[in-house]
């Protein structure tokens, strides 16, 4: 019997990725949705305006996927877990690290699965980049994650509100890839965050990391890039260079064949969710979010021009 899955937050990513990807995973079936907007429905799938109402009406639901913004994540996740449901969290998994530690404790106590997803880690060439780097001596890594906020996040005011992360909303995707491919842990050494005078979250950031092997590791995030986005990681090693581009979909080593593939990120995430449920396991890696949290703690704040849509 497939898991009866409820999807919460029927917005951009739910429609672009979650709904079509759930349909591709036979171990899951989309059995209900919840969104505050009564018109945010998905065909004839039973629709509710809150997760509480959904769970009261449909006790047969066994799993819940949350595709709401991070500020709304904790309350729904805690409710679902405490009612014994398996939970998948969109990235970032919460508004704070402590929230997610709390969710993990609830999940373990309830004996259910909690999956904190990082969709960019599932991009087609990320595993190839990790494997290529594993036996090399890293000397430098430069991350450039730059896109036009007006094109990629049109009208999404939550990204400018506290807890919405601002440019770290896409930037955390880069950090999820960085932490997946680096052979060792690094920590933030310095950062500069640019806050529009009228917003609570940054529009640009520059980060520099300490690496035990002395590699020069840095990242630049910018939301005022126009035209095509740049989602690229340049890697230098003693044995040669390589580029991971298109958000992790394409890997080009200097001396070797290019690796690229189709976008299967969300289908892979849901396959993994089903596998974790079958194994009775949790998967909660907070390393990308720790770097973001460190940037807000350590980063120098610079006020820049107000941002208007």
Which positions touch ligand NAP (CB under 6 A)?
Answer: 9-14, 35-37, 40, 67-72, 90-91, 119, 156, 158, 169
Q: How far is the CB of 149 from ligand NAP (least distance, A)?
A: 11
Could you say which DSSP state residue 203 is in? Answer: S
Q: Considering the complex, what minimum distance in angstroms separates the CB of residue 184 from ligand NAP?
A: 27
CB of 300 to ligand NAP, least distance (A): 25
Nearer to ligand NAP, 7 or 81 (CB): 7
- Can you say how many angstroms the Cα of residue 77 is from the centroid of all Cα atoms in its chain? 16
Torsion of CA 246, 251, 257, 259, to 10 degrees: -70
Nearer to ligand NAP, 12 or 187 (CB): 12
Question: Do 203 and 224 form a contact (C-beta atoms < 8 A)?
Answer: yes
Backbone φ and ψ of 307, nearest 5°: -110, 130
Measured from each CB, the residue nearest to ligand NAP is 11
Active-site option among 85, 91, 136, 146: 91
Q: Nearest 5°: phi and psi at 13?
A: -75, -30
Cβ proximity to ligand NAP: between 34 and 215 the closer is 34
Q: Closer CB to ligand NAP, residue 90 or residue 222?
A: 90
Quote the CA–CA distance of 162 and 82 in Å, as a whole number: 27
- In the complex with ligand NAP, the residue whose CB is nearer, 54 or 217, is 54
**Least CB distance to ligand NAP at residue 255 (A):** 33
Question: Residue 128 CB, nearest distance to ligand NAP (Å)?
Answer: 22
Alpha carbons 293 and 215: distance in angstroms, whole number: 22
Q: What angle do CA 96, 97, 102 make, to 5 degrees?
A: 100
Nearby residues of 248 by Cβ (< 8 Å), 6 or more positions away: 120, 121, 123, 124, 125, 126, 129, 177, 231
Cβ proximity to ligand NAP: between 195 and 231 the closer is: 231
Nearest alpha-carbon partner for 147 in 230, 203, 91, 219 = 230
Rounded CA separation 301/303 (Å): 7
85 is catalytic: no
Shortest spacing between CB 52 and ligand NAP, in angstroms: 13
Q: In 197-299, which ranges are E strands?
A: 204-210, 216-222, 230-237, 240-245, 250-253, 259-260
Question: What residues are labeled active site?
Answer: 91
């Amino acid at each position: 019997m497939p898991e009866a899955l409820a999807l919460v937050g029927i917005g951009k990513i739910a429609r672009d990725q979650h709904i079509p990807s759930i349909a591709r995973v036979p171990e899951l079936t989309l059995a209900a949705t919840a969104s505050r907007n009564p018109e945010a429905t998905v065909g004839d799938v039973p629709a509710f305006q809150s997760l509480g109402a959904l769970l009261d009406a449909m006790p047969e639901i066994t799993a819940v996927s949350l595709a709401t913004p991070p500020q709304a994540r904790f309350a729904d996740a805690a409710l679902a877990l405490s009612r014994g449901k398996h939970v998948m969290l969109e990235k970032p998994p919460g508004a704070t690290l402590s929230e997610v530690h709390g969710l993990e404790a609830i999940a373990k106590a309830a004996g259910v699965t909690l999956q904190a997803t990082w969709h960019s880690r599932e991009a087609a060439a990320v595993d190839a980049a990790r494997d290529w780097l594993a036996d090399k001596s890293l000397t430098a890594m430069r991350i450039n994650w730059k896109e036009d906020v007006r094109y990629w996040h049109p009208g999404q005011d939550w990204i400018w509100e506290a807890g919405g992360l601002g440019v770290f909303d896409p930037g955390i995707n880069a950090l999820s890839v960085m932490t997946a491919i680096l052979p060792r842990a690094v920590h933030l050494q310095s950062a500069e965050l640019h806050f529009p005078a009228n917003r609570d979250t940054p529009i640009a950031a520059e980060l520099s990391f300490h690496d035990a092997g002395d590699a020069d590791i840095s990242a630049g995030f910018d939301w005022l890039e126009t035209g095509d986005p740049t989602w690229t990681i340049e890697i230098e090693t003693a044995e040669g260079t390589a580029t991971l581009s298109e958000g992790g979909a394409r890997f080009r080593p200097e001396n070797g064949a290019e690796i690229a593939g189709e976008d299967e990120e969300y289908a892979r995430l849901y396959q993994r969710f089903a596998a974790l449920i079958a194994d009775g396991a949790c998967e909660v890696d907070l390393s990308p979010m720790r770097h973001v949290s460190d940037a807000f703690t350590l980063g120098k704040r610079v006020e820049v021009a107000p941002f208007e849509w």
